[in-house]
């Protein structure tokens, strides 16, 4: 019997086992489907053996139990959750079984002015209008807000332009329904010390999980707390430092599961805390001819506590201009015409010289006058840096404001890179670094030197107030010469980030690309603790292998895409 026949029989065995267990959803192993699910938004490629599309949480329980039952005989059998497939770190691909949460888990169950319950496959773009009807917002959406689902936001612990004011997704999850490694769905939420005592006495898998994680964080409490990165946002490692709050007697397993990239269990339902949506906003725009003044500008801006402090570079600006016709499809005719009209004054401004960096400082408020006053005061403070301001028209639809063009350039740049630059491809391997803002003046010139040294054509955009930058190189990954630059360039950039006390990921998570760097960032002892947490939650290694603390660069590098 050939190896190919043997593998086929194994797949058919699993299909039969899933069907016989009462699975109601779809099962697909057609070549077209497997090709489609072999990529996410990362530079990696892993072709699955099977794609399954559960209809409900009970179907997910069945899948986990079937895989758990066959794991001893089929060691390479595993499950990887996937929703919109926009993960840039390779977290949504797998060479075994992909579980599609995008097709059926699309119900928004309820929304109030302070909370919401939703399934993970819901697009954020569909979720937000429902919250806004109640005057509320879930503010941790990423720049890819039109493409991402809320499940991906939870599993990557996403943040974005509003993280400066509100924090990250972990700060807004109040409860999760999670299918554990024994194939049983349970609700996970913060519990008191007395409630924890009850959990620790349970003689089932849930009890094993709570005992194992509690013992782990208690035994290494000081070491774990000391390991927490000193940055405003972080998506690397497992968030063990916030699980056990000794002072207040709160044990919160959601802190561990949010940002775990589906390596510890599968989320089937999400409970969010919401905040009031601000009625008005205004934007101050700074065109930076050089970055020498950043050391003065950043702390001055942060003194005024803006809601948002974003940036994008000249490469992003040129990209937006070059592919302006593409915005017609993205925005529709009316918004596209508005974009062209509002760009005219800035086109005159840009004739005076292309800025190296464009800074966007946004203030929110409950009245037009409140916002105008905030923007005007900072504008006066920054006049010597040639700051000028634009306040939107305060229409009920904020996308109609004068500032829309800047948000469009900022939010759609990666989408344009992926779809429009045909001779090269996005290679997000240094795409989510975080450095304390006060160190950016020293950091950014050294970063640019590395990019220039390796001849990387790259856009730089990010959350200036958090020191969180998204650097997306464009490369011909099928070219062996260019592929060889990935590892040395990554080493230099990552070592530079760590030298300045930063984090290798603020939002996009570890996946295949940054998981191999966890030891460099945290040390071997913390890496061992991360792996112990994984063993407690997933003793057989069912969920999303080769990611995060169990990633290996040789494995990851061997799966960089070669064909596009």
Q: What is the pLDDT of residues 300-323, one digit of tens each?
A: 899 999 998 988 887 777 666 666
Query: What's the CA gap between 169 and 145, in Å, rounded?
Result: 13
Query: What's the CA gap between 461 and 359, in Å, rounded?
Result: 10
Domains and CATH numbers, the chain: 108-276 (3.30.465.10), 278-420 (3.30.70.2190), 421-508 (3.30.70.2740)
Q: What is the pLDDT of residues 181-233, one digit of tens each?
A: 999 999 999 999 999 999 999 999 999 999 999 999 999 999 999 999 999 99
Q: What is the pLDDT of residues 251-278, one digit of tens each?
A: 999 999 999 999 999 999 999 999 999 8
Angle at 153 between CA 36 and CA 125, to 5 degrees: 80
Per-residue confidence at 502, pLDDT binned at 50, 70, 90?
very high
Which position has the higher pLDDT, 334 or 217?
217
Q: What is the pLDDT of residue 392?
A: 36
Q: What is the pLDDT of residue 476?
A: 85
Give the pTM: 0.89
Residue 538 makes CB contacts below 8 A (sequence gap 6+) with 181, 263, 264, 265
CA 416 remoteness from chain centre? 18
Report, as an integer, the average pLDDT of 432-448: 90
CA 251 remoteness from chain centre? 25
Q: What is the pLDDT of residues 505-534, one digit of tens each?
A: 999 999 999 999 999 999 999 999 999 999
Cβ contact 52:27 at 8 Å: yes
C-alpha distances out from residue 108 to 57, 148, 173, 220, 531, Å = 15, 15, 15, 39, 34
- Backbone phi and psi for residue 82, each to the nearest 5 degrees, phi listed first: -145, 140
DSSP state of 22: T
Sheet holding 250-251, edge to edge: 191-192, 250-251, 244-245
Per-residue confidence at 338, pLDDT binned at 50, 70, 90?
low
Burial class (CB in 10 A: 0-12, 13-18, 19+), 562: exposed
Q: What is the pLDDT of residue 441?
A: 83
pLDDT at 114 over 70: yes
Per-residue confidence at 35, pLDDT binned at 50, 70, 90?
very high
Query: What's the CA gap between 127 and 106, in Å, rounded?
Result: 10
Per-residue confidence at 462, pLDDT binned at 50, 70, 90?
confident
Q: What is the pLDDT of residue 350?
A: 52
Q: What is the pLDDT of residues 538-557, one digit of tens each?
A: 999 999 999 999 999 999 99
Query: What's the CA gap between 188 and 253, in Å, rounded?
Result: 6
Cβ contact 253:188 at 8 Å: yes
């Amino acid at each position: 019997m050939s190896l190919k026949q043997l593998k086929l029989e194994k797949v058919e065995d699993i299909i039969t086992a899933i069907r016989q267990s009462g699975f109601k959803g779809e099962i697909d192993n057609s070549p077209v489907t497997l090709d489609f699910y072999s990529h996410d938004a990362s530079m990696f490629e892993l072709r699955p053996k099977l794609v399954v599309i559960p209809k409900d949480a009970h179907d997910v329980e069945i899948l986990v139990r079937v895989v758990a039952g066959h794991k001893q005989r089929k060691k390479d059998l595993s499950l990887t959750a996937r929703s919109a497939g926009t993960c840039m770190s390779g977290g949504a691909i797998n060479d075994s079984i992909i579980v599609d949460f995008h097709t059926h888990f699309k119900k928004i169950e309820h929304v109030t002015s302070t909370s919401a319950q939703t399934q993970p496959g819901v697009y954020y773009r569909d979720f937000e209008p429902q919250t806004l009807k109640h005057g509320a917002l879930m503010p941790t959406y990423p720049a890819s807000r039109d493409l991402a689902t809320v499940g991906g936001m939870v599993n990557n612990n996403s943040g974005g332009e509003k993280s400066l004011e509100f924090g990250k997704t972990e700060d807004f999850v109040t409860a999760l329904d999670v299918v554990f490694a024994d194939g049983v769905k349970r609700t996970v939420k913060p519990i008191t010390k007395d409630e924890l005592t009850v959990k620790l006495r349970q003689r089932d898998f849930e009890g094993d999980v709570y005992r194992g994680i509690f013992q782990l964080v208690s035994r290494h409490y000081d070491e774990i707390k000391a390991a927490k990165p000193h940055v405003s946002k972080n998506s690397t490692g497992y968030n063990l430092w916030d699980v056990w709050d000794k002072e207040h007697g709160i044990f919160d397993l959601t802190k561990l599961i949010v940002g775990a990239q589906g390596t510890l269990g599968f989320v089937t339902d999400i409970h969010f805390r919401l905040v009031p949506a601000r009625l008005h906003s205004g934007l101050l725009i700074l065109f930076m001819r050089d970055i020498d003044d950043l050391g003065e500008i950043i702390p001055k801006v942060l003194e005024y506590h803006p809601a948002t402090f974003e940036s994008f570079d000249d490469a992003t600006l040129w990209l937006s201009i070059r592919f302006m016709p593409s915005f017609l499809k993205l925005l529709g005719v009316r918004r596209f015409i508005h974009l062209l009209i509002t760009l005219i004054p800035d086109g005159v401004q840009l004739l005076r010289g292309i800025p190296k960096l464009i800074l966007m400082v946004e203030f929110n408020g409950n009245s037009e006058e409140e916002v105008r006053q905030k923007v005007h005061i900072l504008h006066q403070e920054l006049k010597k840096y040639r700051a000028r301001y634009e306040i939107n028209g305060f229409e009920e639809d904020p996308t109609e404001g004068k500032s829309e063009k800047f948000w469009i350039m900022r939010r759609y740049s990666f989408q344009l890179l992926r779809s429009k630059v045909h001779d090269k491809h996005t290679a997000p391997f240094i795409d989510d670094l975080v450095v304390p803002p006060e160190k950016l003046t020293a950091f950014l010139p050294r970063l640019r030197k590395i990019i220039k040294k390796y001849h990387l054509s790259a856009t730089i955009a990010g959350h200036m107030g958090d020191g969180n930058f998204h650097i997306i190189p464009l490369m011909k990954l099928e070219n062996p010469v260019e592929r060889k630059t990935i590892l040395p360039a990554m080493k230099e950039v990552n070592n530079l980030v760590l030298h300045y006390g930063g984090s290798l990921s603020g939002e996009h998570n570890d996946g295949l690309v940054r998981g191999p760097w966890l030891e460099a960032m945290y040390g071997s002892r913390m890496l061992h603790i991360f792996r112990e947490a994984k063993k407690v939650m997933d003793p057989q290694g069912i969920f999303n292998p080769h990611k995060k603390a169990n990633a290996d660069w040789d494995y990851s590098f061997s799966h960089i895409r070669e064909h596009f």
